[in-house]
Structure 1
Amino acid sequence: MTKDDAKAQIIRLWVDWLAARERTTLSQDMQVFYSHLRSRQPHTLSFRAAGDKWQTVKTWIQDRY
Protein backbone atom coordinates (compact mmCIF):
# COMPACT_ATOMS: atom_id res chain seq x y z
CA MET A 1 0.00 0.00 0.00
CA THR A 2 1.39 3.40 -0.85
CA LYS A 3 1.75 6.00 1.86
CA ASP A 4 -0.85 8.26 0.18
CA ASP A 5 -3.34 5.38 -0.07
CA ALA A 6 -2.72 4.44 3.56
CA LYS A 7 -3.18 8.04 4.69
CA ALA A 8 -6.51 8.40 2.88
CA GLN A 9 -7.80 5.06 4.19
CA ILE A 10 -6.65 5.70 7.75
CA ILE A 11 -8.25 9.16 7.83
CA ARG A 12 -11.55 7.69 6.56
CA LEU A 13 -11.39 4.96 9.21
CA TRP A 14 -10.55 7.54 11.89
CA VAL A 15 -13.59 9.68 11.03
CA ASP A 16 -15.89 6.65 11.04
CA TRP A 17 -14.35 5.21 14.21
CA LEU A 18 -14.50 8.50 16.07
CA ALA A 19 -18.14 9.09 15.09
CA ALA A 20 -19.11 5.74 16.61
CA ARG A 21 -17.40 6.37 19.97
CA GLU A 22 -17.93 8.49 22.99
CA ARG A 23 -15.20 11.12 23.00
CA THR A 24 -12.48 11.18 25.62
CA THR A 25 -9.40 13.19 24.73
CA LEU A 26 -7.88 13.39 21.28
CA SER A 27 -4.63 11.87 22.55
CA GLN A 28 -6.40 8.90 24.16
CA ASP A 29 -8.66 8.45 21.14
CA MET A 30 -5.67 8.38 18.79
CA GLN A 31 -3.86 5.78 20.90
CA VAL A 32 -6.89 3.49 21.08
CA PHE A 33 -7.51 3.96 17.34
CA TYR A 34 -3.91 3.05 16.52
CA SER A 35 -4.19 -0.10 18.66
CA HIS A 36 -7.40 -0.91 16.77
CA LEU A 37 -5.56 -0.56 13.44
CA ARG A 38 -2.68 -2.76 14.62
CA SER A 39 -4.95 -5.55 15.83
CA ARG A 40 -7.91 -5.44 13.44
CA GLN A 41 -6.73 -3.70 10.28
CA PRO A 42 -2.97 -4.25 10.08
CA HIS A 43 -3.02 -3.91 6.29
CA THR A 44 -3.57 -0.16 6.78
CA LEU A 45 -0.14 0.02 8.39
CA SER A 46 1.68 -1.73 5.55
CA PHE A 47 2.98 1.55 4.12
CA ARG A 48 6.69 2.40 4.18
CA ALA A 49 7.77 4.91 6.79
CA ALA A 50 11.19 6.25 7.67
CA GLY A 51 10.35 6.25 11.37
CA ASP A 52 7.72 5.10 13.80
CA LYS A 53 4.37 4.45 12.09
CA TRP A 54 2.52 5.58 15.23
CA GLN A 55 4.11 9.01 14.85
CA THR A 56 3.15 9.11 11.16
CA VAL A 57 -0.49 8.20 11.83
CA LYS A 58 -0.67 10.60 14.77
CA THR A 59 0.62 13.43 12.57
CA TRP A 60 -1.92 12.64 9.85
CA ILE A 61 -4.76 12.80 12.36
CA GLN A 62 -3.47 15.95 14.04
CA ASP A 63 -3.04 17.68 10.66
CA ARG A 64 -6.71 17.04 10.01
CA TYR A 65 -7.65 19.30 12.95
Structure 2
Amino acid sequence: MNNVIKRNLSIRKGFIIGVLVLIIINILFISVYYRLFLFQQIDREYQKLNTELEDKIDEVLEK
Protein backbone atom coordinates (compact mmCIF):
# COMPACT_ATOMS: atom_id res chain seq x y z
CA MET A 1 0.00 0.00 0.00
CA ASN A 2 2.80 2.37 0.90
CA ASN A 3 4.55 1.74 -2.43
CA VAL A 4 1.36 2.57 -4.33
CA ILE A 5 1.08 5.93 -2.53
CA LYS A 6 4.76 6.69 -3.20
CA ARG A 7 4.37 5.76 -6.86
CA ASN A 8 1.25 7.95 -7.23
CA LEU A 9 3.06 10.87 -5.57
CA SER A 10 6.05 10.28 -7.84
CA ILE A 11 3.83 10.28 -10.95
CA ARG A 12 2.06 13.43 -9.76
CA LYS A 13 5.40 15.10 -8.96
CA GLY A 14 6.77 14.17 -12.39
CA PHE A 15 3.64 15.49 -14.09
CA ILE A 16 3.85 18.80 -12.21
CA ILE A 17 7.55 19.17 -13.03
CA GLY A 18 6.82 18.40 -16.70
CA VAL A 19 4.08 21.01 -16.84
CA LEU A 20 6.33 23.60 -15.18
CA VAL A 21 9.14 22.87 -17.64
CA LEU A 22 6.73 23.28 -20.58
CA ILE A 23 5.47 26.58 -19.15
CA ILE A 24 9.03 27.88 -18.72
CA ILE A 25 9.97 26.85 -22.29
CA ASN A 26 6.82 28.55 -23.58
CA ILE A 27 7.66 31.77 -21.72
CA LEU A 28 11.20 31.70 -23.13
CA PHE A 29 9.96 31.25 -26.70
CA ILE A 30 7.43 34.06 -26.30
CA SER A 31 10.03 36.43 -24.83
CA VAL A 32 12.56 35.65 -27.59
CA TYR A 33 9.90 36.15 -30.28
CA TYR A 34 8.80 39.43 -28.67
CA ARG A 35 12.38 40.69 -28.51
CA LEU A 36 12.99 39.85 -32.16
CA PHE A 37 9.73 41.57 -33.14
CA LEU A 38 10.57 44.59 -30.99
CA PHE A 39 14.07 44.90 -32.48
CA GLN A 40 12.60 44.73 -35.99
CA GLN A 41 10.20 47.54 -35.11
CA ILE A 42 13.03 49.63 -33.65
CA ASP A 43 15.15 49.00 -36.77
CA ARG A 44 12.27 50.07 -39.03
CA GLU A 45 11.76 53.26 -37.05
CA TYR A 46 15.50 53.96 -37.11
CA GLN A 47 15.64 53.47 -40.88
CA LYS A 48 12.62 55.74 -41.34
CA LEU A 49 14.10 58.49 -39.17
CA ASN A 50 17.48 58.13 -40.83
CA THR A 51 15.91 58.49 -44.28
CA GLU A 52 13.94 61.56 -43.19
CA LEU A 53 17.07 63.10 -41.70
CA GLU A 54 19.07 62.49 -44.87
CA ASP A 55 16.29 64.05 -46.96
CA LYS A 56 16.23 67.15 -44.74
CA ILE A 57 20.02 67.43 -44.88
CA ASP A 58 19.89 67.21 -48.68
CA GLU A 59 17.21 69.93 -48.77
CA VAL A 60 19.30 72.24 -46.60
CA LEU A 61 22.46 71.62 -48.61
CA GLU A 62 20.67 72.32 -51.90
CA LYS A 63 19.63 75.78 -50.70
Instruction: Give the TM-score of the pair, scaled to structure 2.
Output: 0.31
Larger Rg: 2
Q: Which has the higher helix share?
A: 2
Instruction: Give the TM-score of the pair, scaled to structure 1.
Output: 0.30
Greater RCO, 1 or 2 (C-alpha within 8 Å, sep 6+): 1
